[in-house]
Amino acid sequence: MKLSTIATVAVLSFASLSASASNVVFKAVNDNFETKACKIAAVDGIDAAKDFIESHDENYKRFVVSTFCNGMSITSFAKRYNVENDEQEAPEVITLVAENTNVESKLCLDAVVMGEDAAREKHGVLTDAVSCNYKPLKKFVKQYANRDVVIRPSAD
């Protein structure tokens, strides 16, 4: 297999201009190995494509680097079109629990929920010397930004 091999899968139809990835119908424009792998990635997910690739004694890592599906990597192609797998995975929920009831622990938890400035004002802590899980408060808050977080006040 050459490094420049490009597999092509034609997207035949969309239900409308605002159609989602689940409305895409895939039809292979040829019957080569790369095209089959791309179609499997889009329809069944990247794990199924990996199994297919490895079952034909191909090196998966090399294949991923050298093969493109409609101009994108096979992993990106699978993520874009394999909506069913994404919907089945429940979003990760992180539970943060205060180690103790001191003001700094409360500040760390509140800062994740309401933002650093509001939490500092609420607890009257203006010093920058606050550490949360051995990280500066700003880094701790940033670590949990845009994530599903549940706060528990103290360890039970």
The mean pLDDT of 76-92, rounded to a whole number, is 66
pLDDT at 31 over 80: yes
C-alpha distances in Å from residue 112, one per residue of 1, 95, 106, 137, 155: 50, 11, 10, 9, 17
Same domain, yes or no, for 51 and 113? no
Q: Percentage of the chain with pLDDT > 70?
A: 76
* Residue 33 domain flag: yes
Same domain, yes or no, for 11 and 82? yes
In the prediction, which pLDDT does 33 show?
A: 94
Name the DSSP letter for residue 90.
P
Write out the residue range of the structural domain in which residue 141 sits.
93-152
Identify the domain boundary among 59, 88, 117.
88
**H or E element that contains 108:** helix 103-114
The mean pLDDT of 105-128, rounded to a whole number, is 89
Task: Report which of 82, 111, 106, 112 is spatially closest to residue 94, judged by C-alpha positions.
Answer: 112
pLDDT at 134 over 80: yes
In the prediction, which pLDDT does 47 show?
A: 92
Measured CA to CA, the distance from residue 105 to residue 142 in angstroms comes to: 16
Same domain, yes or no, for 12 and 48? yes
Summary mean pLDDT of the chain:
77
Same domain, yes or no, for 28 and 97? no
* Residue 115 domain flag: yes
Say if pTM beats, i.e. exceeds, 0.85.
Answer: no
pLDDT tens sequence across 86-108:
444 555 778 888 878 888 888 98
Identify the domain boundary among 45, 69, 88.
88
| Contacts of range 121-128, beta carbons closer than 8 Å, 24 or more positions apart | none
Same domain, yes or no, for 108 and 55? no
In the prediction, which pLDDT does 36 show?
A: 93
pLDDT at 84 over 70: no
* Residue 1 domain flag: no
pLDDT at 152 over 80: no
Same domain, yes or no, for 84 and 111? no
